[in-house]
Structure 1
Amino acid sequence: MSLSFRRTIKVADETGTLRLADDIAAITRPGDVIALHGDLGMGKSALARAVVRRLAGDPQLEVPSPTFTLLQSYETARFPVHHFDLYRLADPDELVEIGFSEAVGEGLALIEWPDRAGDELPAERLDIVISEGDDLNGRRFSLEARGGGWAERLEETFAIRALLERAGLADAGRVHVQGDASTRRFERATGSDGTAILMHWPAFGALPVHADGLPYEALVHATDNLDAFLAIGDTLRRHGFRTPRLIAADEPRRLLLTEDLGSLGVAPGGVADPQRYLAAACRLADMAAIAWPDVATADDGRTFALPAYDRRALLTEVELFASWYAPDVAGRPLSTSEAADWLALWNGLLARFDWDRSAWVLKDYHSPNILWQTDGDPIGLIDYQDALRGPAAYDLASLVTDARIDIADDLATAMMEAYCQRRREVAGPFDEAGFREAVVILGAQRNAKILGRFVRYAKLTGRTHHLRFLPRVRRNFEKALDDKVLAGVRLWYERLGLTAQS
């Protein structure tokens, strides 16, 4: 395959090699092939070892040279890595014996002495030619992309390194951080002068039409606008809430480098910490006491008008249950009347929120997006770019029915009591009975949406890791159906036999 990108990187020492390995490892994907060329002693094994350790998240991982075994394989948190050294390969036909083609297709393949693979070497790959540098310990790396999207990825990873340098983190190591179900990708950059979080947020691009000639994202007011993240975050912070500050940006490439709020969550080890969850509930009450503007303003003056969490958006979300989750469980598409009855039930339930635009609804106020802070405000907020103007009850419903963490009934009750008490303290009397009922309705709506969304995501992308949360989400949904306000929804649910079949 013809060359699509070439760039030469000079490094002065082993530290430079490790930094380059970081930049390459950050953009690798399953199925990638990296062919390492160079004379003996040029550092092919050193570069491969650094890439393996970076992907494994263990800088001390033992990574022996596969000179005699030809292949060493490693399981990492992201995907398998297969390190080949073909120096002692007598004939390319021997590659069959070590499972070369299977390994190459399964994960990342790092191949030293790739020329000895002959025609078995994949055409789509990244070639790295290593030669002597300008001094004794220096090296010159010629990176040559041959298809596989390598050219675009290399341009991006070097843009990230340049961004880190502008932010004073030139020596930072980069580690993948688990993100969400969106297209955004996150890394933690750690250097001698501190840490930062790197977010790459691709634009939506072309989206399929969902209804009324609009994509799903438009109907539910999801955004890919960088201004939304910056303006909402800065406005929240000016009102006393903890959000990450912007450190540097490459906006044309949609790269944001932000303050690192750490990795401590409200559910350490996957177990809900009552103290932290109660604090999170109380901070929501504080938020409900604020007269939020319709337009968020960033510290640099840019603005973003928050859409209303209108009935169309709420119905579009809950419709996912009827169009994706229910048919998947029932083993058949719903009839026209069954689907219409579902929407009619929810249309009536959600009409009561038409007037409520008093709060900022963060949309996903739950364990992955709440970072515990050991100084100042204990609640750090992330993933708020899709915030809307709507009912305050939604975010508390999100918190007490966490899709990823089991919330005991007594803790959920305590959070409700703590919220109501704090809200009375900071804002005076309010309609507690109506609020509690709203939490039930919006909690059911949210969990029905999640059930449909996770099934939809799995079927459209083939990625099934989110399906492990379905039993908990279903329990949250069915628990809400015990409330009399959802009696009609419960009857619809039982008529379809979904409880028995789930």
Structure 2
Amino acid sequence: MTPPPHAQAFLATCGWEDAQILPLAGDASFRRYFRVVDGSRSAVLMDAPPPHEDPRPFIAVAEWLVSRGLSAPAILARDLERGLLLLDDFGNGRLRETLDTDPGRERDLYALATDLLVDLHRHPAMPGLPIHGLDQWLEEVQLFIDWYCPAVEAQVDVEGYRSAWTEVLRPVASDGLGPVTVLRDYHAENIMLVDGREGVAHFGLLDFQDALAGHPAYDLASVLEDARRDVPPGIEREMMDRYMASTADAASFERAYWALAAQRNTRILGVFTRLWKRDNKPGYRRFQPRMWGLLERDLAQPHLAPVRDWFDANLAEEYRRLPWKQAA
């Protein structure tokens, strides 16, 4: 987490020449974040190095979200050629740690996370976003075949896999709900609690540069079936009902919720395996037990029977637990 060599010169051009640059966070991409401190003021430096990263989608989505009354970081300065952004600092109050420290707030804060999506989905999808529909969903679950199955040396029926997912996801793609703006990585580690702001603006949003135009159930499944923390099933059910109170077709939404939760969790199993095998980040194996637990619960839904049957026929118990055992 060493700052890029041109960071200090960039900060000098925007009035932060005397600031300290402190490591803040990295993520599964090439992006890195630093806290910039100058006396009593602070900001966040995003390093999104070209050609691996392009900060322009982040800027566009951030400005669109703010125009809709939500809290995304203000862009204080930018150097697009070198992939540097200076952002508003939302502080340290991340939802993940807040809930870990004070689990008694879980219901209230997940209610606010749900209400934020209700508010966001009242607006048509942000213009110009790529579509997140059937073709994209099928492409994403292919990551499981491409990365997870080879990692555990499982020989599987690839044609039957795609056929099963198509049967499950095609009704979701044509149910008429959406498209809306899908933040895509909406979960407890990408939500900040911003002091001095009320309502849905109290939640500061991060990591939305991959936003798409897709189904409204996707982000709700993302936050309630979190890859990195357990959400009690009772809270999940309550928040689903809370969201569906604003939906004209609750039955279609619930069907979509379970299907897209299963799709997302399957994709993540593939993504985390790719991070382990390709990017030398074996720590992502520790999430496998939670991901399998979530996926198996999703697949218990009757309308997901084609996919459940494929998993039962192709991946026995040892194939589902192997990466976790290897991480021990």
TM-score by length of 2: 0.89
User: Structure 1 CA distance, aligned partners of 2:19 and 2:77?
Assistant: 15
CA separation in 1, counterparts of 2:98 and 2:66?
A: 28
**Is the partner of 2:124 in helix, strand or coil?**
coil
Q: Are the counterparts in 1 of residues 258 and 301 from structure 2 also a CA contact under 8 Å?
A: yes
1:139-154 mapped onto 2 (5 Å cutoff): none
Which residue does the alignment assign to 1:268? 97
Three-state SS of the structure 2 residue aligned to 1:197 is: strand
1:379 aligns with 2:203: yes
Distance 2:315 2:264 in 1: 21
Give the whole-Å Cα distance in 2 for the aligned partners of 1:292 and 1:374: 28
What letter matches 1:227 in structure 2?
R
SS of 2:253 mapped into structure 1: helix
* Deviations 1:413-441, CA, capped at 9 Å, x for gaps: 122122223xx2xxxx5101110111100
- The match for 1:228 is 57
Matched, 1:468 2:286: yes
Structure in which a larger fraction of residues adopt helix: 2
Partner of residue 412, structure 1 = 236
Structure with greater contact order relative to length (CA < 8 Å, sep ≥ 6): 2
- Cα displacement (A) at 1:248: 0.7
TM-superposed CA distance for 1:357, in Å, is: 4.5
Contact 1:169 1:193 in 2 (8 A): no
- Which of 132, 140, 147 matches 1:309? 132
CA separation of 1:249 and 1:373: change in aligned 2, threshold 3 A: same
Decide which structure has greater strand share.
1
**Structure 2 stretches lacking a partner, 5+ long:** 322-328
- 1:498 alignment counterpart: 316
Equivalenced residues, count: 311
Question: Computing the radius of gyration over CA atoms, which structure comes out larger, 1 or 2?
Answer: 1
Report the Cα distance in structure 2 between the residues aligned to 1:411 and 1:292, rounded to whole angstroms: 27
> Is the CA contact 1:178–1:186 (under 8 Å) kept in the aligned structure 2?
yes
- Kept in 2, the 8 Å contact 1:493–1:499? The answer is no
Measure the CA separation in 2 of the matches of 1:340 and 1:204.
35
- CA shift, 1:378, in A, is 1.5
For residue 340 of structure 1, report the CA deviation from its aligned partner. Answer: 0.8
User: In structure 1, which of residues 332, 336, 340 is the aligned counterpart of residue 154 of structure 2?
Assistant: 332
Give 1:103-122 correspondences, 5 Å limit. Answer: none
Q: Report what 1:401 is aligned to.
A: 225
Residue equivalent to 2:42: 195
What letter is aligned with 2:184? K
Report the equivalent of 2:119.
286
TM-score normalized by the length of structure 1: 0.59
Aligned-partner SS, 2:72: coil
1:255 Cα deviation from its structure 2 partner: 0.5
Shift, 1:204, TM fit: 4.2
Letter in 2 for 1:265: R
Determine the structure 1 residue equivalent to 2:190: 369
Percent of matched pairs sharing the same residue: 32
Structure 1 unaligned residues grouped into runs of 5+:
1-24, 28-155, 206-223, 295-304
Cα deviation code 1:378-404 (max 9, x no counterpart): 211111111111101000010110000
Q: After TM superposition, give the deviation of residue 353 of structure 1 in Å.
A: 4.1
Relative to structure 1, the CA distance from residue 482 to residue 332 in structure 2 (aligned partners, 3 Å threshold; closer, same or farther) is closer
* Contact 1:285-1:420 at 8 Å conserved across structures: no
Structure 2 match to 1:348: 167
Match for 1:254: what amino acid? G
Task: Report if aligned partners of 2:126, 2:213 keep a CA contact under 8 Å in 1.
Answer: no
Once the two structures are overlaid, the 10-residue window that deviates more, 352-361 or 429-438, is: 352-361
Q: Which amino acid aligns with 1:281?
A: T
Q: CA RMSD in A?
A: 1.9
| CA deviation vs aligned residue, 1:236-290 (integer Å, no higher than 9, x gap) | 1101110001001111111111111122122226636332222111111111111
CA distance in 2, matches of 1:366, 1:489: 25
Segment drifting more, 378-387 vs 489-498: 489-498
The answer to whether the 8 Å contact 2:221/2:260 transfers is yes
| Displacement of 1:193 | 4.6
Q: Residue 5 of structure 1 corresponds to which residue in structure 2?
A: none
C-alpha separation in 1, matches of 2:285 and 2:113: 26
**Residues 1:480 and 2:309 aligned together:** no
Is contact 1:26–1:174 with CA below 8 Å preserved after alignment? no
Name the stretch that deviates more: 243-252 or 492-501. Answer: 492-501
1:253 aligns with 2:76: no
